[in-house]
Amino acid sequence: MNKTIQLQDLGNKDYKETWEYQEELFKGIVDLKIRNRREELTLETPNYLLFVEHPHVYTLGKSGDLSNLLLSEKQLEDKGATFYKINRGGDITYHGPGQIVGYPIIDLDNFFTDIHKYLRFLEEAIILTLQEYGVECGRSEGETGVWLGVGTPFARKICALGVRASRWVTMHGFALNVNADLGYFDNIIPCGIRGKAVTSLNVELGVEKVNEEEVKEKILKHLIELFGCEFQYIAP
């Protein structure tokens, strides 16, 4: 089983371009698995993790409700934002500058075949990372992602998760607000959940800006611990 994950940091990249790139990597793994089965081969399947920061964009999962987007097409244009309906789970979310987005495109046959465990491990990597900054956080029952103030009137989400999997190959992933402009979340009902606020790491720490590269390194460290993997950096 291949436990090496090829890591690419795409920098600031258009959502649609990144989505198409994800689909390309995803299809390559799935096609190889089909070939292995059909031809009785044992060719090793690759794994990838993409780090990226998107220009302002709203995305709606396949089971999402379009009414959770509170902007017209003209208002989207005025805010310099785009909108896409996509093939991950979950409802509506926002991506933009100051947010670390991670897209693991991995063959879970190389690790474990359990989507629930996979989601919990992604959440745990973020929880452990935030705890290194002294931020108390955790899970909210029945809701994916990472939350602060669970069980209080001040519950707020700091990291959203939404994935797709086929033949145990994953795509899409997590979005952690580090230095995000939270005003953009006012234009949606985040994840379709009313009455829950959204926050960002810099807000919780009371600082103007958090070092995003440092946050990425901490996330990688915890992914290595949880998945028993190693990362190999490759140029985008």
The answer to whether the annotation marks 173 as part of a ligand binding site is yes
**If you average pLDDT over residues 71-90, what whole number do you get?**
87
The mean-pLDDT minimum among 13-17, 51-55, 67-71, 79-83 falls in 67-71
Cα→Cα distances 185→103, 136, 199, Å: 21, 22, 10
Q: Which of 87, 88, 94 is nearest to 68 (CA)?
A: 94
The answer to whether residues 197 and 140 touch, using CB atoms and an 8 Å cutoff, is no
Q: State yes or no: pLDDT of 195 exceeds 90.
A: no
Cα 35 to Cα 42: distance, rounded to the nearest angstrom: 9
The answer to whether the annotation marks 161 as part of a ligand binding site is yes
Q: Which of 195, 158, 193 is nearest to 65 (CA)?
A: 193
Burial 163-201 (b: 16+ CB within 10 A, else e): bbbeebbbbbbbbbbbbbebebbebbbbbbeeebebbbb
The per-residue pLDDT for 60 is 87
What is the pairing mode between strands 92-95 and 57-60?
antiparallel
pLDDT band for 12, please (50, 70, 90 cuts).
very high
The answer to whether the annotation marks 92 as part of a ligand binding site is yes
- Is CATH 3.30.930.10 the right assignment for the domain spanning 54-100+109-222? yes
> In this prediction, what percent of the chain has a pLDDT beyond 70?
97
The answer to whether the annotation marks 89 as part of a ligand binding site is yes
The per-residue pLDDT for 91 is 80
Which residues are part of the catalytic machinery? 191
Q: State yes or no: pLDDT of 192 exceeds 60.
A: no
pTM of the model: 0.94
The answer to whether the annotation marks 96 as part of a ligand binding site is no
The per-residue pLDDT for 205 is 98
pLDDT band for 92, please (50, 70, 90 cuts).
confident
**If you average pLDDT over residues 38-66, what whole number do you get?**
93
Q: What H or E segment, with its residue span, contains residue 129?
A: helix 115-131
The domains of the chain are located at 54-100+109-222
